[in-house]
Structure 1
């Protein structure tokens, strides 16, 4: 397995200029003056978004514009183009769903997302009006990292087709039907994806190359039921890095308490070595996950962040490469390609065959955006 010391300067780096072409530049946030006050209470929301972007070394953050009534919102929409509209309940002038319908009638190209304070609000409004005009509903708990996750997730959905086809960018599918839980999980996942992607970049590449390489980070695609998840899986099967799923959600039109198990079992039958993760609040599902087999994390865990980080490092290739024998005993580890190359001549054939059969080399290289090299090693 010969590494290429000039890979960062080769022609493959050029495609990164074209990745993540779509960016959210302007967001309209429509709320009551009271909700706007609450959102700004911990500091200007725009500044908090900027700090989130800077903290993760992301590109230029979008501009956030407030509107305090439906009338003001439509005036803003007429004055300039927006990429995304977020709205909270309790609007002056009309209810939030009527506003959403009118928005879609006049500006059908702009996605409309709802921000609720809690799940009780969702249930109350959902009983009164269907969500046909709503792109997605989130639970706002006062943290700007949710807005960053909303923005990045929408950008991923817009960019995924081009980025996978042209640069073989990896995809993580998350299946979760609860706004409460995906509103909590998405910020965590994006934080770890960005941090881990940056952590495995070779020291030899320059800052410009680092910025370009960050555009090749894995995309996150969200599904809310079994059918949506399978549609995404079939569409992006060659590029799927992992599937994270809840256990209980709709399958074949009805809620199924084991839909997540059925989904991962089917996916496992098609890609046996794909790392899979069940995220559930029901501890009994830990044993079910082991039968697939898949990893399990309890969503109510006090160290949820640490466990998700551990999954990225241990199972998705973002940590050091740990060379093991077939009995799982560790014999060596390497933190980068050069260390791997130095170790190879002295490693037992049994270890090499063990990792090759489990696709470990390819997965580790994919985490480092060495896509062509990784795919050449797949059995």
Structure 2
């Protein structure tokens, strides 16, 4: 127990809150079939839902969403406007969503691409065996906007972790899980808890500067999907690790290791 830090002594080094979370996601391109676009609209405009989520948690600058239906429309839109994130959804006129995402990534390698797909054995098999190097993340999509919020914050945390840990000593929560279904669910709940607790914590601030500092300086959540990625992330941020949430059985060297979580 001697290696566990006293949480009461953990504090952000004073810094201008403008220096934290410098890289943000402002514009998101959704590539979805007309049917999926209709479902998104029928459930309520996705940008309005995300705005409400941001507003309820006192988060600033909610992203704007642009929807297209084909790979060709996506490439045309990407040539005209700047986007920080591309989300691809299934059922795109019977096209292979993973192939579409790979083609878009080839044209715009610097933009993160996330694939949202209903959970199935076929998706799990594809993620486990296919070359997924062109796709940053795959998530199990059940139509919940809470997952979209978690995806946005996960990518922002990944982009800002190097600078924010160095600048202000921001803490890191490391999630180690290789199941698409389980990390999709866990991240949703984990972000909800961290954001709500950060909001409560910020209310204790003495002034506006400290309130913004505490919200922007909340613990960041990073996801590792195999043993090697987990070790590399831990070694990079070991001075800033607040906690690790790990599955016991995860991929290690391309194979399932039933005790990798203990290592």
TM-score normalised by length of structure 1: 0.63
Q: Distance in 1 between matches of 2:179 and 2:186?
A: 11
Correspondence 1:79-98 to 2 at 5 A: 79-92=80-93, 94-98=95-99
SS in 1 for 2:244: strand
Q: Larger Rg: 1 or 2?
A: 1
The answer as to 2:117 corresponding to 1:113 is no
1:174-217 superposed Cα distances (whole Å, 9 cap, x missing partner): 00101111111111111111111222346351234312321110
Q: Distance in 2 between matches of 1:90 and 1:125?
A: 16
Correspondence 1:1-80 to 2 at 5 A: 12-80=13-81
Q: Which residue of 1 aligns with 2:219?
A: 218
- Measured at CA, do residues 195 and 50 of structure 1 come closer, stay the same or move farther in structure 2, by a change above 3 Å? same
The answer as to 2:99 corresponding to 1:104 is no
Q: Distance in 2 between matches of 1:202 and 1:90?
A: 44
Q: Distance in 2 between matches of 1:175 and 1:123?
A: 17
SS in 2 for 1:200: helix
Is this contact kept in 1: 2:139–2:180, CA < 8 A? yes
Is this contact kept in 2: 1:15–1:167, CA < 8 A? no
Q: Distance in 2 between matches of 1:163 and 1:141?
A: 32
Mean Cα deviation higher: 151-160 or 110-119: 110-119
Is this contact kept in 2: 1:97–1:129, CA < 8 A? no
Measure how far apart 1:95 and its partner are: 2.1
Measure how far apart 1:119 and its partner are: 2.5
SS in 1 for 2:211: helix
Q: Which residue of 1 aligns with 2:4?
A: none
- Measured at CA, do residues 128 and 186 of structure 1 come closer, stay the same or move farther in structure 2, by a change above 3 Å? closer
Q: Which residue of 2 aligns with 1:242?
A: 243
Is this contact kept in 1: 2:101–2:115, CA < 8 A? no
SS in 2 for 1:196: helix
Is this contact kept in 1: 2:177–2:246, CA < 8 A? yes
Mean Cα deviation higher: 49-58 or 89-98: 89-98
Q: Which residue of 2 aligns with 1:141?
A: 142
Aligned residues: 254
1:125-167 superposed Cα distances (whole Å, 9 cap, x missing partner): 5589532211010011111011111000000000000000111
- Measured at CA, do residues 34 and 202 of structure 1 come closer, stay the same or move farther in structure 2, by a change above 3 Å? closer
Measure how far apart 1:102 and its partner are: 1.7
1:304-361 superposed Cα distances (whole Å, 9 cap, x missing partner): xxxxxxxxxxxxxxxxxxxxxxxxxxxxxxxxxxxxxxxxxxxxxxxxxxxxxxxxxx
- Measured at CA, do residues 220 and 203 of structure 1 come closer, stay the same or move farther in structure 2, by a change above 3 Å? closer
Mark the runs of 5 or more structure 2 residues left unpaired by the alignment.
1-7
Comparing both chains, which one has the higher relative contact order based on Cα–Cα distances under 8 Å and sequence gaps of 6 or more?
Answer: 2
- Measured at CA, do residues 201 and 79 of structure 1 come closer, stay the same or move farther in structure 2, by a change above 3 Å? closer
Measure how far apart 1:17 and its partner are: 2.2
Backbone CA RMSD of aligned residues: 2.2
Mean Cα deviation higher: 23-32 or 35-44: 35-44
Is this contact kept in 2: 1:117–1:140, CA < 8 A? yes
Q: Distance in 2 between matches of 1:255 and 1:127?
A: 11
Q: Distance in 2 between matches of 1:61 and 1:28?
A: 14
Q: Which residue of 2 aligns with 1:268?
A: none
Q: Distance in 2 between matches of 1:189 and 1:239?
A: 18
- Measured at CA, do residues 121 and 40 of structure 1 come closer, stay the same or move farther in structure 2, by a change above 3 Å? farther
TM-score normalised by length of structure 2: 0.90
Is this contact kept in 1: 2:105–2:134, CA < 8 A? yes
Q: Distance in 2 between matches of 1:107 and 1:188?
A: 31
